[in-house]
Amino acid sequence: MEAIGIDIGGTKIAGAVVSDSGEILVEDRVPTVAGDSEAIVDSVVLMIEKLAAGRNISAAGVAAPGFIDVDQSTVYYTPNISWRHEPLRDRLAQRLDLEITIDNDANAAGWAEFRFGAGRSVDDMTMLTIGTGVGGAIVSRGALFRGGFGAGAEIGHLRVVPDGLPCGCGAKGCIEQYGSGRALLRIANGIADVGGIGLGLAAVRERTGSLSGADVAALIVDGDPGAHQALRELGGWLGQACASLSAVLDPQLFVFGGGVAIAGDLLIDPVRESYLAHLPARGYHPEPEFRIAQLVNDAGVVGAADLARLHQRSHTS
């Protein structure tokens, strides 16, 4: 059964018709009209109508950033889009002749990895998406964990440093401030300031005015010792967070997605090393696997479509 998946991002809305096996059959994307929630709803309606035209489709899943209620109908809060207690599912359902499901974007991406990507061989998986911030998704016993209110699995706001760096969420010391793409830039700038192994980073910063993610990524590929050190420090923080997550969730597998995950083993190795150093009951706790996500850009739409299909099946059976 084909289903539609839509992923509402900060800069673009992506959509696709997705097969039962997670394959993208047709896709579409339009820019997000920043700050205009009405225009975003219009874009999503238009995109679903266009994708469904001439096809036998009865379910569409929409992934959005922020808190979604446990009934998967209302967006409690979305950064950037200004949705506050927005009844998104009903608004879309009123205008479309399809069953609509909404979910958090990180949940959708994690679900796609679980069903069709790096997590397809396990039942318990924890995913960390290392982009500008740190996103998370938890699959426990083959089901997505949403929490009692639907706002669970916000791994980015796990505290790793008491009274640490202020976070966009209002708290301090969240892993997002130490293990994200933005944190990688802060760490790299610190290494550049010191000189020594930071000379390569400092030279690029001098030339470009400020270090970008692409600059650091290029230096990592070139084997620059300062850029590699920045990645090791980032991995060290993420490994600590994973050790705390293991104590609570005990996943068989940690999956890393997002832009920084392109570093592959250069990220995974320091994560694992730090994980083992910080794990409670070290030496006795079974060791989970650490893998890089496989679906990259398509995960949000593939996961949203599959969750819509699942939701519909649970209603009709």
89 vs 157, beta carbon nearer Zn ion: 157
* Near Zn ion by CB under 5 A: residue from 16, 167, 241, 253: 167
Total residues contacting Zn ion (rule CB under 5 A)?
Answer: 5
Q: Shortest Cβ distance from residue 168 to Zn ion (Å)? A: 6
161 vs 203, beta carbon nearer Zn ion: 161
* Near Zn ion by CB under 5 A: residue from 8, 174, 202, 279: 174
* Near Zn ion by CB under 5 A: residue from 157, 205, 278, 311: 157
Q: Shortest Cβ distance from residue 177 to Zn ion (Å)? A: 7
CA distance 110 to 266: 22
Q: Check binding of 276 to Zn ion (CB under 5 A).
A: no
Q: Shortest Cβ distance from residue 169 to Zn ion (Å)? A: 3
Torsion of CA 139, 241, 268, 222, to 10 degrees: 130
Interface segment toward Zn ion; rule CB under 5 A; list 65-73, 161-169, 183-191, 218-226: 161-169
Interface segment toward Zn ion; rule CB under 5 A; list 44-52, 77-85, 153-161, 267-275: 153-161
CA distance 155 to 240: 12
47 vs 183, beta carbon nearer Zn ion: 183
Interacting residues with Zn ion between 183 and 222 (CB under 5 A):
none
Torsion of CA 234, 237, 240, 244, to 10 degrees: -110
44 vs 184, beta carbon nearer Zn ion: 184
78 touches 66 (CB < 8 A): yes
Task: Say if residue 280 is exposed, middle or buried (CB neighbours under 10 Å; 0-12, 13-18, 19+).
Answer: exposed
70 vs 171, beta carbon nearer Zn ion: 171
133 vs 270, beta carbon nearer Zn ion: 133
Q: Check binding of 161 to Zn ion (CB under 5 A).
A: no
Residue 234's Cα: distance from chain center in Å?
17
Interface segment toward Zn ion; rule CB under 5 A; list 57-65, 105-113, 133-141, 173-181: 173-181
CA distance 205 to 208: 5
* Near Zn ion by CB under 5 A: residue from 30, 169, 199, 203: 169
Amino acid occupying residue 99: E
Interacting residues with Zn ion between 100 and 139 (CB under 5 A):
none
CA distance 245 to 127: 11
DSSP codes, 226-276: HHHHHHHHHHHHHHHHHHHHHHHH--SEEEEESGGGGGTHHHHHHHHHHHH
Q: Shortest Cβ distance from residue 175 to Zn ion (Å)? A: 8
187 vs 305, beta carbon nearer Zn ion: 187
Interface segment toward Zn ion; rule CB under 5 A; list 168-176, 214-222, 233-241, 302-310: 168-176
CA distance 246 to 256: 15
Q: Which of 224, 292, 295, 297 is nearest to 263 (CA)?
A: 292
In the DSSP assignment, the letter for residue 172 is B
Q: Residues in the site for Zn ion, rule: CB under 5 A?
A: 157, 167, 169, 171, 174
